[in-house]
Amino acid sequence: MKHILLLGTGGTIACKRTEDGLKPVITSDEILTYVPGVQEFCRIDSIQIFNIDSTNIQPRHWLAITEAIKERYDSYDGFVITHGTDTMAYTAAALSYLIQHSPKPIVITGAQKPIDMENTDARTNLMDSLRFAACPRAHDVSIVFDGKVIAGTRGKKERTKSYDAFSSINFPFIAIIQEEHILFYLDDKDQAPKEPAFYTQLDANVGLLKLIPSLDASLLDYMADRYDAVIVESFGVGGLPSYEDGGYYRAVARWTALGKIVIMTTQVTNEGSNMSVYEVGRNIKKEFGLLEAYDMTLEAAVTKTMWILGQTRDPEKIRSLFYQTINRDVLWKA
């Protein structure tokens, strides 16, 4: 029987009602009392790392989760992390970079309603996650939610209230779970490395600029003094405005002169970017050697950049690592 470790971090699944609204107070030990049936297919221990609303998640929390797993990695067959849904996709992506090529499953789950409510998705999500973590064919970092198994770098919360809150962006589900049955769409553990790689450094100094029509380029210029990298969410397949004042050109030139990183992505959820299509993207990308996220999610692009800058500042190594496929994060590269 597989030995699984449950790591509690808070979130809606662990919430109770208070005068000020829902607040995570239920411990990981208490959470397990709501799914007694798991004892039929696995042994479980639990630890509480922290108990916070996922709105308050920061990179230091990702490092704490990584360290907790690293310290106990040899003692367990799989790991399940209970987490709030609002930043779950960021955490799943971050852990995909901090714990790479794990032959043991590291599963992140949560709920849209607290586990102590009568009508909740929490008990099903937790049961599914523990079942998947106990599956001998499971590996690497993934989200398990609403019966779907999503690669850790491909998840995105697209619904604020519905139980099917998460989608897998530009990539198929790893598997689906129907009661006690796990149906794999991608069954490739035999091709995975046998040893994990743990990382302990992140550079949280990564900013995001979301373009809107007429947004002044001075904001991008302002960010150059405060961030080591910026991700620009552009329109459509990607590009930067070529307004008459040339502000965006000058701002990007300044970022480049400072040796800082500009990464282009798209505001459109599905199908990814391709800056080579239009003049507003092709010319500026070519002149300044901008990085492009292509089919990556925003969450993956953000956390991968933090991970890369935690390892190196060499421009060629940054470019190489950014386009290296890790846990299925980027498939299409021009």
Distance of alpha carbon 285 from alpha carbon 248, whole angstroms: 12
| Banded pLDDT at 193 (limits 50, 70, 90) | confident
| Banded pLDDT at 94 (limits 50, 70, 90) | very high
Terminal Cα-to-Cα distance of the chain (whole angstroms): 46
Distance of alpha carbon 33 from alpha carbon 144, whole angstroms: 20
| Apex 51 CA angle, 204 and 64, nearest 5 | 40
Looking at every residue in the chain, the average pLDDT score rounds to 96
pLDDT of residue 130: 98
User: Tell me: the pLDDT tens digits for 13-72?
Assistant: 999 999 999 999 999 999 999 999 999 999 999 999 999 999 999 999 999 999 999 999
User: Tell me: the pLDDT tens digits for 147-185?
Assistant: 999 999 999 999 999 999 999 999 999 999 998 999 999
Distance of alpha carbon 266 from alpha carbon 17, whole angstroms: 38
Query: Which one, of 328, 295, 291, lies nearest residue 309 by Cα?
Result: 291
User: Tell me: the pLDDT tens digits for 118-142?
Assistant: 999 999 999 999 999 999 999 999 9
What pTM was computed for the model?
0.97
Positions annotated as catalytic residues are: 12
User: Tell me: the pLDDT tens digits for 298-318?
Assistant: 999 999 999 999 999 999 999
pLDDT of residue 334: 61
- Ordered by where they begin, the domains of the chain are 2-198 (3.40.50.1170), 206-322 (3.40.50.40)
